[in-house]
Amino acid sequence: MEIEMRIKGLVIDPISKMPIVVLEEIAGDRMLPIWIGVFEANAISLKMENIPTPRPLTHDLIKNVLQKLDAYIEKIVISDVLDNTFYAYIYCHCNKGKIIKIDSRPSDAIALSLRMEAPIYVEEKIVEKAHSLKFDEKLEDSEKLKNWLENLRPEDFGKYKM
């Protein structure tokens, strides 16, 4: 079963200093944090803040190509998590209604979904599994990070600064 989610915000992991995109359930109260790269966080942030760029970035280019081909993104689905790595698919409508399922990193799929105004879904099993994810053992205090994420408040999701 797929759960529709939206971006609650971008935050910085206080321990690893890596960006986290936090998704929240539209029809509920569950959240899903996904650690992403700096470049992908920047692509998401630029679109969330409606900041124009002088030239198309990679996700803008993909959007432009899809539009020129008369294709659109039906949805993205975060479909799996293996060894603390999330997996996603982009469902693309093209060729007179044919749906193509494209493997993607969640961060790229999210950045593209923002540009194409496509909904974000997460498989129920992923949301359930995320509560039991083991954080990276290299982190100084993974329990501290887990508690921090569980206690995030709306005001913690201010504008993302790069």
The torsion defined by the Cα of 98, 102, 106 and 110, in degrees rounded to 10, comes to: -40
> pLDDT tens-digit profile of 59-86?
999 999 999 999 999 999 999 988 888 9
Domains of the chain (ranges plus CATH)?
2-156 (3.10.690.10)
Residue type, 31: M
- DSSP β-bridge partners for residue 89: 77, 103
Angle between helices 58-68 and 106-116 (to 10 degrees): 60
Q: Strand (E) positions, the chain?
A: 2-12, 19-25, 31-35, 72-82, 85-94, 98-104, 120-123
| Token pair in block for residue 11 | 């935050």
Q: For residue 122, what are the CA distances in angstroms to 5, 57, 99, 148? A: 7, 26, 19, 22
The number of beta carbons lying within 10 Å of the beta carbon of residue 17 is 8
Calpha distance 148→132 (Å, rounded): 15
The pLDDT of 14-19, averaged and rounded, is: 85
The number of beta carbons lying within 10 Å of the beta carbon of residue 101 is 12
> pLDDT tens-digit profile of 119-161?
999 999 998 877 655 444 444 455 666 666 666 655 555 544 4
pTM over the 0.85 mark: no
